[in-house]
Structure 1
Amino acid sequence: MIRRRFVNIVAENYKSGMCSLHRLDVSKHLFYPSTAEAAAAAGGGKAPQAPPIPTLQRLPPPCMSFPRPHTMGFFASEGRILRCSLAGHSLLYDADSDSIGTMPSSQGFTGITPKIISTGQPGALEEDLYVLHDDGFDVLRFGPEDRLVYRPMGRKAWHWESLQRPPFDNIIGSHSVVDGGRTICVSSSPDGFGTYCFHTVEREWWQGGCWVLPFVGGAEYVPEFKLWLGFFPTNPYHLCATRNLSVMEDLIAMEKPPTLHTLSDLDTPKNWSALRFKLLNLGGGRFCVAGVFEEIVGYTEDESDGFSELEAVRPEFAVLTGVELVTDSSSGDAKLEGFQIVSHKSVRYMFMEDRFKWEL
């Protein structure tokens, strides 16, 4: 599988509200040249004291700037970024060619926080972008507008299609793409509707079970190892993995949530409070763990009642960490049936004049 070269960061200026797109070179900031060098830097599994995370003084020069959009979608080829306004108007920016193309407007207002799910893998030539929102369910796809009518070669274009509304109205807690992109699974919170699946070919919803996916947010698939990676649903949101989401038949047969295995993750100080996490699939078993934190000054933990006390909270900051899933070796103790996660480099960026809005 093709590996991504960049992590796309959309930063918003505190004063002007303008957004800018920056592309962070992962080979320079997040990964060592080899897995062996990453393992050696980590002490060869001897668990040394973690060195301070270096601070990124400034972001790479912006590729483009634009007013704050309603939301942003992302295509798995890493360079194509979809910008949507509150009115539904869309633009597609190709960072590789530094070009902008107009896109068809969406079917209507997609809400403040729509759930955007891509069915493609990094490096994929074609993929669809599914949008779950308060008023319905739509897909942005490239092809003939009527899938049942033959069109001559070259008569394809980007267009929106309305899909069958989901048979639930609760807030989505987690989601994943399974069965080679043919099935989208979405789960509620633990006390919600359970798990429903959407078949992208038949375009039908069906109930997977009363259980929920054991992640928070989106889980990413690693085809080389047939694993799904995501974040544990409770603090401190460790990186976890499961195998039992391979094909639709497995989902139908399941009567309980798939087994979750905790993997090693960024060892953050106790006075760092996590605000949100994002897992970016870079391809080839490599990922970027993007976290936004706030640092609590004067943090104390009262052993008598189990509560923590704080004096002040410093400005927010982001930490980006490169991790790699590899075949198991004698180093490391975070193993999952022959595989382990290896942490490479981390970088910290303080939110002074701007802040991260999206990591793509």
Structure 2
Amino acid sequence: MAAGGTQAMRQFVYLVVKGCYDRRLRCCRDSYMADTFHMRRINVSRFFFYPEPPPPPPLAMVVDARLPRPCITFCAPWVMHFMLLGRNSDKVLAVDHKGRTTMYDPAANTIRAAPTLAHPKRLPAISLPIGDDLYILDPTSSDHRCFEALVYKPGGPAHDWVTTRGPIDRYNDWHCQSLPPPPYHPYSCSFVGANGAIGGYAVVGGGGDSAEIWVSTNDGSGSGTFSFDTARRAWTKHGDWTLPFRGLAEYVPEYNLWFALSSGSNNNHLCAFDLAGAAEPPATRDFCQELKPPKDWKLVSSHLVHLGSGRFCIARFFEKPVKIPVCCVCDMDTQTYGVFTGVEVKKPGRGLRLRMVKHRSECYRFDDHIKEWVL
């Protein structure tokens, strides 16, 4: 049985874009340039039409829109990574290359200090929220430092803290716990759809301590699918097959199915499958393509965000070559576009197959190449 019941719909999707160096953000005592990371809140609730959507436009049609202003800008000496602490909490964890973390609550517009990871992870890391905890896995390593959890612990009563002066923590806080390393040995980053050496991953099973984390990886001897039992804190290999999707698969309790972007011949299509008790590659149900970009647009990356109740936001980023006149000749440059689309998976009636309903799409233009996180 899978975790979770009916989920409330998320109103916002968070887009973080690595920006150029900003002189105004430079510390007067810092002689080095810092990287900036701008976070924006995109209100996706307006992407959906109710009670019924209007007739869908042609797939090639999207609405040009302007990105909202950044709600916060992070600054770091080098690379950073961003993780959603929990689907229902909407808090974002920012991690730098040394494992230092900061927790940001966009709804309250507040910053909270968070514990430094027990061991820095090679970024981008795999992150999976389970209950109040966040599991973080280095996708390129299998040593004793590659896997840990950011665990939430309520503080003890004040009178206990006063009397013991010992191990009881008076405050509610998160703590880092190292976890057993996986049994595989990452071999290369060439695995199709890989984030490092990991192709697809998901949370399977009950909620809290009874959940399992499933990953498909490419190691030195080939590919395989493994799971980590959060209760027993032990790894199990399920077979030499791989999960038929890439990135994170989201569980939808209304249909008792997992949804992700496919990694097969219909690459990057929304797909559904059943992971409960899977002892072999699960059968995949592919849906139609929600977007048909112009022919000269090259797909760079895709992201799937579950909003709740079978509704999703699919974000795709494209590069388009353009000619720029320079001194009476034409030089080539690249423009970047991000298209965010609201889609809904529905069952028309009892016994009928699931179908995908496309809602609104918005297109955002970026000035140059970008590095993005969609949460």
The TM-score normalised by the length of structure 2 is 0.77
Q: Partner of 2:98 in structure 1?
A: 87
Structure 1: runs of 5 or more not aligned: 43-47, 120-125, 146-150, 299-310, 331-335
Is 1:239 the counterpart of 2:270? The answer is yes
Deviations 1:73-119 (A, max 9, x none): 11212530101122221111111111111111101221122111222
Deviation at 1:51, TM superposition (A): 5.5
Q: Partner of 1:200 in structure 2?
A: 230
Cα distance in 2, alignment partners of residues 22 and 70 from structure 1: 16
Q: Partner of 1:178 in structure 2?
A: 204
2:60, 2:292 within 8 Å by CA — same for their partners in 1? no
Cα distance in 2, alignment partners of residues 214 and 324 from structure 1: 21
Identity %: 31
- Aligned residue pairs: how many? 315
1:80, 1:93 within 8 Å by CA — same for their partners in 2? yes
**Letter in structure 1 aligned against 2:282:** P
Cα distance in 1, alignment partners of residues 112 and 127 from structure 2: 20
Is 1:11 the counterpart of 2:4? The answer is no
1:86, 1:109 within 8 Å by CA — same for their partners in 2? yes
CA pair 326-144 structure 1, distance change in 2 beyond 3 A: same
Deviation at 1:192, TM superposition (A): 2.8
Q: Partner of 1:103 in structure 2?
A: 114
**Letter in structure 2 aligned against 1:2:** A
Cα distance in 2, alignment partners of residues 273 and 236 from structure 1: 14
Is 1:342 the counterpart of 2:357? The answer is yes
Deviation at 1:287, TM superposition (A): 0.8
**Paired residues for 1:12-161 under 5 Å:** 12-16=18-22, 17-28=35-46, 30-34=47-51, 36-37=52-53, 40-42=54-56, 49-50=58-59, 52-57=61-66, 59-68=67-76, 69-75=79-85, 76-77=87-88, 79-119=90-130, 126-133=131-138, 134=141, 135-143=145-153, 156-161=172-177
Deviations 1:263-297 (A, max 9, x none): 12323234332111111111111111111112357
Cα distance in 2, alignment partners of residues 5 and 357 from structure 1: 20
2:334, 2:369 within 8 Å by CA — same for their partners in 1? no
Deviation at 1:154, TM superposition (A): 6.5
Q: Partner of 1:280 in structure 2?
A: 305
1:107, 1:160 within 8 Å by CA — same for their partners in 2? yes
Deviation at 1:32, TM superposition (A): 1.7
**Letter in structure 2 aligned against 1:274:** L
Q: Does the residue aligned with 2:251 lie in a helix, a strand or coil?
A: strand
The TM-score normalised by the length of structure 1 is 0.80
List, as ranges, runs of 4+ consecutive aligned residues in structure 1 with deviation greater than 6 Å: 151-154
Q: Partner of 1:226 in structure 2?
A: 256
Structure 2: runs of 5 or more not aligned: 1-6, 23-34, 156-166, 187-196, 324-330
Across the aligned residues of Structure 1 and Structure 2, the Cα RMSD in angstroms comes to 2.7
CA pair 64-354 structure 1, distance change in 2 beyond 3 A: farther
Deviation at 1:21, TM superposition (A): 1.4
Q: Does the residue aligned with 1:338 lie in a helix, a strand or coil?
A: coil
Is 1:188 the counterpart of 2:217? The answer is yes
Cα distance in 2, alignment partners of residues 164 and 226 from structure 1: 30
